[in-house]
Amino acid sequence: MPKQTWSDRFESALNPIIAEFNASIGFDIELLEYDIRGSIAHAKMLSHTGIISKDEALQLITGLEQILLEYQEGHFNPGIEAEDVHFAVERRLTELVGDAGKKLHTARSRNDQVGTDIRLYLRDRIEEIREQLRGLQQVLLKHAEKNVETMIPGYTHLQRAQPLSLAHHLLAYFQMLQRDWERLGEVYKRTNISPLGCGALAGTTFPIDRHYTASELEFGGLYGNSLDGVSDRDFAIEFLCASSLIMVHLSRLSEELILWASQEFNFITLKDNCSTGSSIMPQKKNPDVPELVRGKTGRVFGHLQGMLVLMKGLPLAYNKDLQEDKEALFDGVKTVQGCLGAMTVLLREGLEFNRDRLMSSVDEDFSNATDVADYLATKGVPFREAYNLVGKAVKTSLAAGKLLKELTLEEWKALHPKFEEDIYQAIAPQQVVAARNSYGGTGFEQVRNAIKEAKVQLLEGHST
């Protein structure tokens, strides 16, 4: 086995089973681009402070750029013998530039190095995910603009409650994603702090310039405590927490799409490009995308729980346990990005709303009962009394096999003399929805205002 970085301290090589168990190169190769970026900044700083010569720094930078090119072209594929991505890069660098390569690790530990790499990686992924959130919001907003006056039954306890504007329903998810976008912005700020220069745990005796490397890597600040800098994974936990909430929102939307696509609801029709059929039941069209999103949600939840358990008992500072943070983080990123991408495609081109069915569905139940009570309240009847009278009206209608709209005026007046001919207009679905014009409500005027506000939020997002 090749010589390891610590081998002069030890008399024998690692047992092959332990070497394989100990290695992280199988997954932390994901960080290679960021490891090289961080190393280039470190080499520049070493030259800037006079710790190494300008010529040595140039050799290091040239060699690091060569390694990145080799990796991108598929020619650099380190195996388990490299242990991790950091040693793999350092070893290859020494092969390329000789003894100068051995100076790269001056005033740096793998502890602050890996902390820097992870933050650089996650910064980029956060920006990508925020952009994906914006893309999904835009698709929801387009559907909302087309369906302000399309109505859908609103539910509580999965029982018909009150009719809604379909746009209002879709904009609820827009707002959930807006919070996700804002939350990731906060996570970005706490990810964008440089641990480079914290060393193994106590800083370094070399006259380094941590502000220089932070500026080179476009970090927004520095860790002020070296122990905290190398051992902090709060930002990773926060990211997985924010990701879990994204998945909660996607899963809730998925559940509704699955219900809406069923024959019982028939609110949407899935298109062939985003669904599959059954192997034995040719009539079926399955909602694969939302089902997979709903299923993958548990993966992200699991990674969050795993990270919390990983960190809860670690003494300061760095411990090998922290090697376990990467696979959870990488898979969490991959899962969230995959689900956002698939859901965006599904909503953009994989389904259509069955407007006739939606409009008829709000006209076939008792979800206008509250509006009957409101009608009486506007005519001076105390609301609680009106509420009880409407309960009797529903009971009477059910006994007669009628809907409220089918009661005669005589039947209405038998319940209370305040009922007049205008009750029929008051309980018509279009009026029921339009009348809920309080700020944030489902009234058509409010929904149009909400669409305008949503467009402003998207514009503001592109300017920050």
41-60 pLDDT, tens digit each: 999 999 999 999 999 999 99
Q: Which domains does the chain have, with CATH numbers?
A: 7-106 (1.10.275.10), 111-361 (1.20.200.10), 369-462 (1.10.40.30)
| Residue range 204-218: mean pLDDT, rounded | 98
Q: Residue 301: what pLDDT? A: 98
DSSP state of 365: S
Strands annotated E in 213-287? 221-222, 268-270
SS3 315: coil
- Report the alpha-carbon distance of residue 289 to residue 210 in Å, rounded: 46
- Report the alpha-carbon distance of residue 199 to residue 210 in Å, rounded: 11
- The CA–CA distances, whole Å, from 293 to 250, 310, 391 equal 7, 26, 41
Determine which one of 12, 157, 462, 463 is catalytic: 157
| Residue range 164-177: mean pLDDT, rounded | 98
Is residue 163 scored above 80 in pLDDT? yes
- Report the alpha-carbon distance of residue 36 to residue 354 in Å, rounded: 53
Q: Residue 1: what pLDDT? A: 45
pLDDT tens across 409-445, in order? 998 998 899 999 999 999 999 999 999 999 999 999 9
SS3 225: coil
Q: Residue 10: what pLDDT? A: 63
| 211 is annotated as an active-site residue | no
Strands annotated E in 310-361? 351-353
Contact indicator for 89, 32 with CB cutoff of 8 Å? yes
Determine which one of 7, 53, 215, 278 is catalytic: 278
Q: Residue 364: what pLDDT? A: 86
| 157 is annotated as an active-site residue | yes
